[in-house]
Amino acid sequence: MEYIGQIEITFGMVLAAALVGGMVADVLRLPKVTAYLLVGLLLGPSALDLLAEEHVHVLDPLPKLALGLVLFNLGCQFPLNHLRRIWQRTYRLSLGELTATFLLVMLGLLLLRQSLPMSMLLGALALATAPATTILVLKEYKSEGPVTELTESLVVLNNLMSILAFETIFLAIHVIRGTLDVPLWSQVGYLVGDIVGSLLLGAAIGLVVSLACSLIAPSRWLVLLVAATTILLGVDEALGVPYMLSFMAMGLAVANLSDVTKAIVVELDRLTGFLCVIFFVIHGAELDLNAFLEAGLVGLAYIVLRSAGKYFGILAVARGTHEPEAVRHWLGSTLLAQAGAAIALSAVAAQRDPQLGKQIQTIILGSVVVFEIAGPLCIRWSLLQAGEVPLMRAIRHTSSSPLAELQALWIRLKVSLGFRQPWPDPSKELRVRDLVRRNVPALDQAATFDEIIALIEHSHDNTYAVVDDRRVVVGMIHYADISQVLLNRTVSKLVRAADIATEAKLILHSEDPASRAMAMFRGTKEDCLPVVDSQSPHPLLGVVRRRDIVGYLTHRENKQK
């Protein structure tokens, strides 16, 4: 029982640390993936060493299932009609990127006097892109556009080609050395059998899921999907076939056989998100800072050469095929994250050839520290520059603050204990001036788009008054409406507050009764209303917030009872 208790504490600590990391990520505008990885790195042996290795081993199936669900989700994005539409663009870009990455890494390491087998194998591993990291960042920012679409398809091809290139090169090394335990064609047959078998197994489970979801009630889908995915993972592990390929094949099958694919993905999304939190914290704990230092000059060269291959390979092909500017400049940098497939293949190399594999594993584990921390940041930056992130996801805005929530909690506690909240005397008619919040900034009508965004990020309201030089209200800007401007740099440089402000139809005067404010709130979804001085020219005094009016009226009703 003591051992189970320790596991539970470890599990709870992982989730609690991830929660704090996610909150910090919101403040610092970091992708949550990066925050989870850094939290794991902090808890792991490279820093505080709070996660026992045997506990992490017990939790190992959960990260694998998380990665499998991400790949299933990815496969669901590619029905055949969609694949046919993007295939020509995808394969040309992929060919350029993969060729440039492989050659740059291989030739660069040869110039550093590394052996040909090691240089070629690292070139093959350099092709892989971390699917979970990349896809989770795309989902977090709800990006849409050609860069996002091509990134999703290239992630699939990169990992598939990395596995094939790695196995082919390793097979060639054994042939040249004469160390094959079985005939060449038998070894090729094993390789093809593993790949085809994993694809067929995933497709078969996808067929079962598609059929079952059309026969049973949606309320039972989650149980079905968890059963199907865990069984698939278990069978893949038992047979020793690549489970990542199986889950992608399962997603492709569901995408093309089911008419409720989107509903299935939505049903699994919450579970996927929960498991991915565990995945990234544990993955962060496995990052080894000592391995990064041990990789030395060769590790640094691998990082630089792989990054250059991804970026310039895409750039060269995209220019030659007249791809949009966003694709040319920003697609390559969305493919830098590297983890799962590369780590797994480096472990395989260490098993097959301990001396060579150990060197490869050290470089991969060392470089992953950089690629997994910097990769999500590069993806976020690229999506922002490409203009594919909705403005609501690109900025940080909350409707409350920790201090305000603590104050509200303290008030609720006092009321529960029988203390009175110091509202104005209910026997007197309350005026708007009694509830106005005066220390509220307004937007000058000439404010730039960047100044508008800065105000939104430091405000907890969703409605903002636009004023002239006399502080007279000339319009209102609503948080929900500014997404129309998006992040088009050309447009945003020209936009001023007056350009996107709408007519201020709901304005309160300081002498208005509170009942008028309440009537206005009943007819609108606004969270606050501007209050102007009753004297001409009616300058802005502040705002009245819905929560203040509701709180006062609730108190008055309780008092009258």
Share of the chain above pLDDT 70, in %: 88
The answer on 420 and 358 residing in a single domain is: no
The predicted structure's pLDDT at residue 487: 47
Find the range with the poorest average confidence among 71-85, 321-335, 472-486. Answer: 472-486
The predicted structure's pLDDT at residue 501: 83
The pLDDT tens digits for 225-248 are 999 999 999 999 999 888 888 999
What HEC string does 252-320 produce?
HHHHHHCCCHHHHHHHHHHHHHHHHHHHHHHHHHHCCHHHHHHHHHHHHHHHHHHHHHHHHHHHHHHHH
Interatomic CA distance for residues 497 and 483, integer angstroms: 14
pLDDT band at residue 197 using 50, 70 and 90 as cut-offs = very high
Is the pLDDT confidence value at 44 over 70? yes
Average pLDDT of 511-530? Answer: 83
What's the number of CA atoms in the CB half-sphere (13 Å) around residue 242? 25
The answer on 232 and 277 residing in a single domain is: yes
The pLDDT tens digits for 247-280 are 999 999 999 999 899 899 988 888 888 888 888 8
The answer on 167 and 240 residing in a single domain is: yes
The answer on 380 and 525 residing in a single domain is: no
The predicted structure's pLDDT at residue 333: 94
The predicted structure's pLDDT at residue 375: 92
Task: Beginning with the edge strand found earlier in the chain, give each strand of the sheet holding 473-478 in spatial order.
Answer: 443-444, 463-467, 473-478
Q: Which of 26, 22, 54, 53 is nearest to 39 (CA)?
A: 22
Is the pLDDT confidence value at 65 over 70? yes
Q: Which residue intervals of 144-220 are DSSP H helices?
A: 146-177, 184-215
The predicted structure's pLDDT at residue 394: 61
Find the range with the poorest average confidence among 383-392, 479-488, 529-538. Answer: 479-488
Most confidently modeled range among 139-153, 196-210, 438-452: 196-210
The predicted structure's pLDDT at residue 427: 43
pTM exceeds 0.85, yes or no: no
Is the pLDDT confidence value at 558 over 70? no
User: What is the total count of domains within the chain?
Assistant: 2
484: DSSP letter: G
Average pLDDT of 6-15? Answer: 85
Of 364, 389, 414, the residue at which a domain comes to its end is 389
**Does a structural domain hold residue 6?**
no
Is the pLDDT confidence value at 105 over 90? yes
> 336 in helix, strand or coil?
coil
pLDDT band at residue 1 using 50, 70 and 90 as cut-offs = very low
The predicted structure's pLDDT at residue 2: 42
The answer on 184 and 157 residing in a single domain is: yes
Of 332, 362, 389, the residue at which a domain comes to its end is 389
Average pLDDT of 91-103? Answer: 94
The answer on 256 and 122 residing in a single domain is: yes
**Does a structural domain hold residue 65?**
yes
- Which amino acid is residue 208, in one-letter code? V
**Does a structural domain hold residue 35?**
no
The answer on 361 and 276 residing in a single domain is: yes
The answer on 238 and 385 residing in a single domain is: yes
The predicted structure's pLDDT at residue 3: 44
> Beta strand pairing status for 540-545 and 528-532?
antiparallel
Find the range with the poorest average confidence among 17-26, 73-82, 479-488, 524-533. Answer: 479-488
Find the range with the poorest average confidence among 323-332, 393-402, 516-525. Answer: 393-402
The pLDDT tens digits for 155-193 are 988 988 988 899 889 888 888 877 767 677 777 788 788
The predicted structure's pLDDT at residue 213: 92
- Residue of 549 and 108 predicted with greater confidence: 108
**Does a structural domain hold residue 477?**
yes
The predicted structure's pLDDT at residue 231: 95
The predicted structure's pLDDT at residue 491: 57
The answer on 419 and 362 residing in a single domain is: no
Residue 508 belongs to domain with CATH number: 3.10.580.10
pLDDT band at residue 119 using 50, 70 and 90 as cut-offs = very high
Q: Judging by beta carbons within 10 Å of its beta carbon (0-12, 13-18, 19+), is residue 72 exposed, middle or buried?
A: buried
The predicted structure's pLDDT at residue 4: 46
Average pLDDT of 75-96? Answer: 86
- On average, the pLDDT of the chain sits at 84
Rounded (5°) CA angle 53-56-62: 165
The answer on 431 and 308 residing in a single domain is: no
Average pLDDT of 88-96? Answer: 90
- Residue of 302 and 1 predicted with greater confidence: 302
pLDDT band at residue 58 using 50, 70 and 90 as cut-offs = confident
**Does a structural domain hold residue 394?**
no
**Does a structural domain hold residue 222?**
yes
Is the pLDDT confidence value at 432 over 90? no
The answer on 474 and 384 residing in a single domain is: no
The predicted structure's pLDDT at residue 216: 92
Q: Which pairs count as long-range contacts for 403-408, CB under 8 Å and 24+ apart, including other chains?
A: 404/460
Residue 165 belongs to domain with CATH number: 1.20.1530.20
How many Cβ atoms sit within 10 Å of the Cβ of residue 92?
15
Domain containing 132: what range?
Answer: 61-389
- Residue of 453 and 100 predicted with greater confidence: 100
The pLDDT tens digits for 460-497 are 777 888 988 888 888 888 776 675 554 455 556 677 88
The answer on 519 and 385 residing in a single domain is: no
Of 356, 389, 422, the residue at which a domain comes to its end is 389
Q: Judging by beta carbons within 10 Å of its beta carbon (0-12, 13-18, 19+), is residue 410 exposed, middle or buried?
A: exposed
Find the range with the poorest average confidence among 223-237, 347-361, 374-388, 421-435. Answer: 421-435
Average pLDDT of 32-56? Answer: 85
**Does a structural domain hold residue 332?**
yes
**Does a structural domain hold residue 419?**
yes
Average pLDDT of 527-553? Answer: 81
Interatomic CA distance for residues 106 and 102, integer angstroms: 6
